[in-house]
Amino acid sequence: MYFASGSDSSGSAADSDSEASSAAGAGEEESEGNRSSSAVAPAIIRPEDCHTDPKLLKALVENHKRSFPYAGAFLVKNEEDTDSNTVTRSDPKKSIHGLKGKELLKHLHEIGTLAKITSIQGDQVLLLGHCRLRITEMVEEDPLTVKVDHLKHMVDFNYQRLADFGAAISVTNKLLCQGVLEELDVSKRLMLTLELVKRELEITKLQQSIAKAIEEKITGEQRRYLLNEQLKAIKKELGLETDDKTALSEKFRKRIESRKEKCPSHILQVIEEELTKLQLLEASSSEFSVTSNYLDWLTVLPWGDYSDENFDVLRAQRILDEDHYGLTDVKERILEFIAVGKLRGSSQGKIICLCGPPGVGKTSIGRSVARALNRKFYRFSVGGLSDIAEIKGHRRTYVGAMPGKMVQCLKSVGTSNPLVLIDEIDKLGRGYSGDPASALLELLDPEQNANFLDHYLDVPIDLSKVLFVCTANVIEMIPGPLLDRMEIITIAGYITDEKMHIARDYLEKNTREACGIMPEQVEVTDSALLALIENYCREAGVRNLQKQIEKVYRKIALQLVRQGVSNEPAREITLVEPSEQPTGVSIATEVENKSQRDSLAEDVSVHVIPTDFSCEKINVVSLTTKSEVDHYEHPKGVSKETSADDKATPTNTSGKMEANEHTEEVMEALVDEALVDKTVEKVVVDASNLDNFVGKAVFQPERIYDQTPVGVVMGLAWNAMGGSTLYIETAKVEDGEKKGALVVTGQLGDVMKESAQIAHTICRSILHEKEPNNTFFTKSKLHLHVPAGATPKDGPSAGCTMVTSMLSLAMGKLVKKDLAMTGEVTLTGRILPIGGVKEKTIAARRSGIKTIIFPAANRRDFDELAPNVKEGLEVHFVDKYSEIYDLAFPSDSQALAS
């Protein structure tokens, strides 16, 4: 928009052109009445649309001081509208404001607006439009002064006002508004304005729809966030609450204040630095969240807080005996550990590793040790763990970073000296995230864990007061450096006698209570438990035995419930005092209808409140069972045989209610329907009906032969589930010259296959020594088989058994009855020591074996076994196979033809 001075601002222009003067006069005449008839410039003002010519501003100021302060306002044309090659087209750096005189006039639209100068503030001029003008000629170049004609309308004034007003309120393109300004035909102008208004309406609708769509995208959480922020701001203004940063800082300082004296100085320094950092961060930043979480972990840990240890050996003995039966050697080792801790004043030392088959109580022993020492207990399993961050924690820079297990443990238990049970340490994994076994070295090593560094906390933590107990099934699977830091305590398993005591004193009792069964309602005989142990639960532990006992008691519970037994606590049904009821209203009870009475438990107590009937007072009586009701002597005048007339006696003058028919019906219903006879038949479980509760037997007797035939010898084996017996069988396939060969089957591993080949070679040497003329191994092709071929078997302890089996077949001699053996034999006939002596001894007892052959190097292992394990066994310890030969083939052995 460009302003031009009015025609009367130049005397010469006014004198030479009367029409110009009349135009100015017309503007004066219309200044009072025609203010609203003028066209309006675009509503949106941009900086490039404003003129900053000082001379023009000075001329406008002078006009404003006159009695007729008017100026002409004209729109600047677009460059495309000019047909001359102007400065603006050749030099884009120059604007329209640099043009003067005729050049400037060429860039202005011919029709403009006569506007009154209402105010001038600085370089801002406020104009009020009046009427249309058309430029006729230029008077002065600087500032641009022109002569104009006033454009009149010969229609109703309201129409043109409406058209101009519609164009004024639109914010559309300025050229469209200029088109309305130049249109003198009011009807056409109204149509142009109507188009502008419709376009404006569509734009408004589109803006509303966009605004609505945006508003719908704002979720409930965002609204809640905004409301919470407003609430916080209001509370802060009222002094009811501080901001987040201040509240968090106060919380963290309050946490650490109570243990400030015990907390290490380097920890306090880190906490103070982080608190200072927290105050400088914006609450909405991600770094603020990371820092607050870090401070939360730092201040919540029990720095310097220790629980008082109890080194009472007698108390520890009592606790271990309460929680576990047997395991004498294990308990003794734990008591030794506690005794050393009492003398040292601290129970620190080597890491205990409880090794044994599943279900023998390794985890529960760790819990008992924690209870005996009065330490907090924390357990975490590392089975299959492949991420080192689970032990050492994540770096704080990662999203969702967390400290390691030990830091989480300290937070959970609230003390710095808990007992931590690391379960399944033999099943550690190894993945792309590092080797957890190596990370455990720093955690478990007493020389290093005093300054354990968690990646998340990034400050040293003293774990030297933590007592670590590990559990494993097979120590061979534990990495060597980790195993070197542990003290192994082996839990071999339980023999049948021990399982019987555990089942009777622990498992059955706990299961019965858990099922809600009374002792007088069930009897599980010893024969049933023995059959359960021998035919269903032969593993070394008792976990499967517990499952089977639970299965038995679940079926017993179902059987009792079907008989109508309920052991729920008795519930009372009270008859309300009749005197409390209005006259003529029947006595109310909590049992309102038959369906409610049917839903009551059978074992229910009925208390009758004493009331004053017309005949006699009824005493308080508690009816527990129907039999008690039958033997109860009803008071005089009140009986179950009361006549209908007596039941319908009206109320007396004292206002107290008489016994009525409803009362008698309630009593009859409670006696006949709610109360039942509690006498039920006791459920007895014995060996004869055990399969009704747990199904058919899973295992057959391990003792297949009462007397093993020629070529068959019983061996003893060890596996992760405990000990077991196995038969090694040898048979002749064919005879012939140079047919001597050996075939082995039975899912044997490489070690056992090598043992079979070594045994075959040794047998040839021994047979040549014992029977020089026997050419059995030279001419016979042999087949050696270990039954249960679906089960993989491997290990260096079956060599002597294989040798004995082949010799038995070659010489046609039976092996001594009730004999089992174990041990590896070398080519020179030496017997090497084996492992799992206790497990193999238990397996032999389970099969009814009387004589066992062990390597001489295992004598110490056998001597350490409990007396009840060794009882009734004849054990021989040998160094050479020749000793086994003399034991297996006594001189009076029966010889059979080969």
pLDDT in tens, 818-872: 899 999 999 888 999 988 888 888 888 878 888 999 999 999 989 888 888 888 8
Q: Which residues, in sequence order, are bridge partners of residue 354?
A: 471, 489
With a cut of 70, say whether residue 56 has pLDDT above it.
yes
With a cut of 80, say whether residue 660 has pLDDT above it.
no
Rounded to the nearest 10 degrees, what angle do helices 362-373 and 328-344 cross at? Answer: 30
pLDDT given for residue 666 in this prediction: 52
With a cut of 90, say whether residue 645 has pLDDT above it.
no
pLDDT in tens, 715-726: 998 876 677 888
For the record, the structure tokens of 164 come out as 């101009």
pLDDT in tens, 309-354: 888 899 999 999 888 888 888 888 888 888 888 888 777 767 889 9
Confidence tier at 556 by pLDDT (50, 70, 90) = very high
With a cut of 60, say whether residue 454 has pLDDT above it.
yes
Helix (H) or strand (E) holding 297, with range, is: helix 286-300
Cβ contacts of 249 within 8 Å, gap of 6 or more: 275, 278, 279
Spatial CA neighbour of 658 closest among 576, 580, 586:
586
Q: Which of 248-262, 566-580, 683-697 has the highest mean pLDDT?
A: 683-697
Confidence tier at 569 by pLDDT (50, 70, 90) = low
> Residue 723, annotated ligand binder?
no
Mean of all residue pLDDT scores within the chain? 77
pLDDT in tens, 724-748: 888 999 999 888 777 778 999 988 8
pLDDT given for residue 52 in this prediction: 67
Helix (H) or strand (E) holding 134, with range, is: strand 124-140
Residue type, 569: P
Q: Which of 13-22, 189-198, 581-590 has the highest mean pLDDT?
A: 189-198
> Residue 359, annotated ligand binder?
yes
With a cut of 60, say whether residue 764 has pLDDT above it.
yes
With a cut of 50, say whether residue 488 has pLDDT above it.
yes
5 phi and psi angles, rounded to 5 deg: -65, 150
Coil vs helix vs strand at 164? helix
Q: How far apart are CA 676 and CA 679, in angstroms?
A: 9
Q: Which residues are catalytic?
A: 797, 840
> Residue 360, annotated ligand binder?
yes
pLDDT given for residue 756 in this prediction: 92
Are 566 and 678 contacting, i.e. CB atoms less than 8 angstroms apart?
Answer: no
> Residue 363, annotated ligand binder?
yes
Coil vs helix vs strand at 172? coil
Spatial CA neighbour of 404 closest among 447, 351, 458:
458
Confidence tier at 511 by pLDDT (50, 70, 90) = very high
With a cut of 90, say whether residue 73 has pLDDT above it.
no
Rounded to the nearest 10 degrees, what angle do helices 328-344 and 313-323 cross at? Answer: 150
Q: How far apart are CA 472 and CA 353, in angstroms?
A: 7
pLDDT in tens, 870-882: 888 999 999 999 9
- Calculate mean pLDDT across residues 404-412: 92
Q: How far apart are CA 495 and CA 325, in angstroms?
A: 11
Least confident range from 548-562, 565-579, 811-825, 860-874: namely: 565-579
Percent of the chain with pLDDT over 90: 20
Cβ contacts of 304 within 8 Å, gap of 6 or more: 259, 261, 262, 263, 264, 416
Q: How far apart are CA 725 and CA 716, in angstroms?
A: 5
Q: How far apart are CA 138 and CA 7, in angstroms?
A: 10
Are 685 and 523 contacting, i.e. CB atoms less than 8 angstroms apart?
Answer: yes
pLDDT given for residue 407 in this prediction: 92
With a cut of 70, say whether residue 142 has pLDDT above it.
yes
Confidence tier at 807 by pLDDT (50, 70, 90) = very high
Query: Where does 655-798 have alpha helices with state H?
Result: 661-669, 691-694, 750-770, 776-779
Confidence tier at 680 by pLDDT (50, 70, 90) = low
Q: 């052959």: which residue's tokens?
A: 853
Q: What is the DSSP letter of 634?
A: P
> Residue 166, annotated ligand binder?
no
> Residue 331, annotated ligand binder?
no
